[in-house]
Amino acid sequence: MDASRISATRQTRATRKSAAKPKAKSTGLRRASKITPVLKQFRELFRVSQQHFQRIETDCGVSGAQVWALSELEARPGQRISELAQSLSVHLSTASNLLDKLEAKNLVRRERTSSDQRVVKVYLTPEGRRVVSRAPRPAEGVIPDALRKMPEEALRRLHRDLEQLLELTAIRNPRAALKPLAEP
């Protein structure tokens, strides 16, 4: 091969390498430009949720999770603790601890049934009803409320996509799913 062809070949290789580098950079930039709006949506969703729960705490003097529990008890008086835990989608011990705090504030009362003393049913007190009546809506929080309003297919798609996102995270904590967003 003569010198001019060797030089041309080297130039072609150099051009290819330099062209490849900006492509990698531009691909990364394009990817980042797709990630950023989604990240901002997560931030907005969590901040709006936090603001809502802060407003509940300011207006009512109890946490957002406690107001949600009170509103569930208002809608279905006499629930067992396990039923309330299921309604709130939290662990049984979380629901029990929530009720302990509400009972200490005289917002709920527990009653044992006469037929089976092991069964404890929970009811609102008059003060508990007053707290629910002045609580900002939605009592369960903005995220559960928005999810409830979504079309079924969109909800299935979101569930699938969030599951995929969780699988890609370096750390998972399935127990965190059983803790209310309103609680730290």
* Number of DSSP helices (H) and strands (E) in the chain, helices first: 7, 3
pLDDT higher than 90, residue 62: yes
Q: Supply the pLDDT for residue 114.
A: 76
The residue with greater pLDDT, 28 or 54, is: 54
The whole-model pTM stands at: 0.72
Longest dimension (CA), the chain: 104
Indicate the domain borders of the chain.
3-178
Q: Supply the pLDDT for residue 102.
A: 97
Average pLDDT, the chain: 87
CATH number belonging to the domain at 3-178, selected among 3.60.15.10, 1.20.1440.120, 1.10.10.10, 1.10.101.10: 1.10.10.10
Tokens of residue 120, six digits: 């404890």
Lowest average pLDDT, out of 7-11, 38-42, 64-68, 129-133, goes to 7-11
Give the Cα separation of 19 and 174 in Å (integer). 45
Q: Where are the beta strands (DSSP E) in the chain?
A: 79-80, 108-112, 120-124
pLDDT-derived band of residue 160, with 50, 70 and 90 as boundaries? very high
Mean pLDDT on 10-33: 63
Lowest average pLDDT, out of 9-13, 82-86, 146-150, goes to 9-13
Q: Supply the pLDDT for residue 33.
A: 85
97-153 tens-digit pLDDT: 999 999 999 999 999 877 777 889 999 999 999 999 999 999 989 999 999 999 999
pLDDT higher than 60, residue 17: no
pLDDT-derived band of residue 31, with 50, 70 and 90 as boundaries? confident
The residue with greater pLDDT, 183 or 156, is: 156
Give the Cα separation of 17 and 51 in Å (integer). 50
Tokens of residue 44, six digits: 């907005």
Look-up of token digits 């967003």: 181
Cα-trace Rg, the chain = 27
Q: Supply the pLDDT for residue 113.
A: 78
Q: Supply the pLDDT for residue 92.
A: 93
Name which of 136, 149, 147 is nearest 70 in CA terms: 136
Task: Give the dihedral sign, CA 25/26/27/28.
Answer: positive
